[in-house]
């Protein structure tokens, strides 16, 4: 369930002064839809994102169903595995940067090419943009 902090009053403008009655249908192309949806967005994998503040820091929270096999505990905090993190980040990276990240993970033994190929073959990775990008940069032989 998704909730938001909207304070829309059917009889007048909401908290930010925006009143939908003030927008003529001919002017809709001038309305910045992204600004209306903020803090919500969509990441490179097509998943919902939400911008939140923690003190002075702005964080982008990515919402997705992550299977238990893609999670690990780090100092008691649930995190995605290195392989899942690479898959999720791939659409946000240039190809050279993604190749560098994959090489780093392989060199450190965070996952193997065989592990990656096995995970990428699973049904939930079919059609995921990050999975396709990772498939393209994986070395052809097992490491």
Q: Considering the domain boundaries, does residue 99 fall inside one?
A: yes
Q: Considering the domain boundaries, does residue 129 fall inside one?
A: yes
Q: Considering the domain boundaries, does residue 15 fall inside one?
A: no
* Contact in structure between 134 and 102 (CB atoms under 8 Å): yes
Q: Give the Cα separation of 114 and 47 in Å (integer).
A: 26
Q: Considering the domain boundaries, does residue 113 fall inside one?
A: yes
Q: What is the pLDDT of residue 64?
A: 86
Q: What is the pLDDT of residue 8?
A: 37
Which strand (E) or helix (H) includes residue 77? strand 77-80
**Residue stretches of the chain with pLDDT short of 50:** 1-20, 143
Q: What is the pLDDT of residue 5?
A: 39
Q: Considering the domain boundaries, does residue 35 fall inside one?
A: no
Q: Considering the domain boundaries, does residue 131 fall inside one?
A: yes
Which strand (E) or helix (H) includes residue 106? helix 95-108
Q: Considering the domain boundaries, does residue 105 fall inside one?
A: yes
Q: What is the pLDDT of residue 108?
A: 97
**pTM, to two decimals:** 0.67
Number of domains in the chain: 1
Q: What is the pLDDT of residue 51?
A: 87
Q: Considering the domain boundaries, does residue 14 fall inside one?
A: no
């Amino acid at each position: 369930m998704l909730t938001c902090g909207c304070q829309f009053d059917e009889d007048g403008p909401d908290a930010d002064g925006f009143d939908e009655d003030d927008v003529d249908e001919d002017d809709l192309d001038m309305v910045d839809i992204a600004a209306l949806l903020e803090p919500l967005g969509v990441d490179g994998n097509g998943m919902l994102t939400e911008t939140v503040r923690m003190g002075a820091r702005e964080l982008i929270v990515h919402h997705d169903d992550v299977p238990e096999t893609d999670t690990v505990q780090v100092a008691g905090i649930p995190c995605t595995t290195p392989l899942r993190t690479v898959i999720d980040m791939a659409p946000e990276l240039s190809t050279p940067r993604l190749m560098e990240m994959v090489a780093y993970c392989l060199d450190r033994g965070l996952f193997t090419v065989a592990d990656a190929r096995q995970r990428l073959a699973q049904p939930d990775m079919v059609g995921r943009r990050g999975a396709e990008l990772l498939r393209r940069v994986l070395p052809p032989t097992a490491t």
